[in-house]
Amino acid sequence: MVTLILAGSDSTAGTLAWALSLLLNNREILKKATNELDTEIGSKRMVDVSDLKKLKYLESIIKETLRLYPAAPLSLLHESMENCTLSGYHVASGTRLLTNLSKLQRDPSLYANPLEFCPERFLTTHKEVDVKGQHFELIPFGAGRRICPGISFSLQATKLTLATLLHGFDIVTIDGGPVDMAEQIGFTNIRASPLQVILTPRLTSHIYDKI
């Protein structure tokens, strides 16, 4: 369990940074997310774990973030255990495979306007698509027997943290301008520069005493 938490914390933090960056560059989507939180949670308490199942728009934001910026853009290394034939190609035993998730999840034959941040696609055209390895057009955690074992931890931590931030604070960039979306090249997909924002409480002060 400690290994899962340690391995999942870094990638979860990276996903949260990308989600906030995308929202700050798309203020109308950010407004829709806070409106959903105000409607479902109200202004008299903080978000609770039991609230997460009601936040459908927030869930679509997280799906769209994972589509555009999967934590491991080349997935994990896989190795063929025996000779096999796949789609007419002979794959020798011992062949190592890296799946380019970034390219797959931005394929224009799978997604209209694939480079656009559009959470609504997961409420309409891709409503039935999830991230749990059953739909190969969206597999940020992998699929099959080698799917990421920390998927449940990551999804719940990401959703609860993002919901708490958006519900509890107004968030703006320091200079009021757009966020630089440059990526740092590496095994995990993280921002090239730290995300710096200003948080302003948007609920009554006594609510924050419980944090």
Q: Cα(83)–Cα(129) distance, rounded to whole angstroms?
A: 32
Neighbours of 152 (CB within 10 A): 13
Answer yes or no: is 84 a known binding residue: no
Query: Are 144 and 136 spatial neighbours (Cβ–Cβ below 8 Å)?
Result: no
- Could you give the CA distance from residue 111 to residue 67 in angstroms, rounded to a whole number? 10
Give the whole-angstrom CA distance, residue 101 versus residue 147: 13
119 vs 29: CA distance, rounded Å? 8
Q: Which residues are annotated as a binding site for heme?
A: 148
The annotation places the binding site at: 148
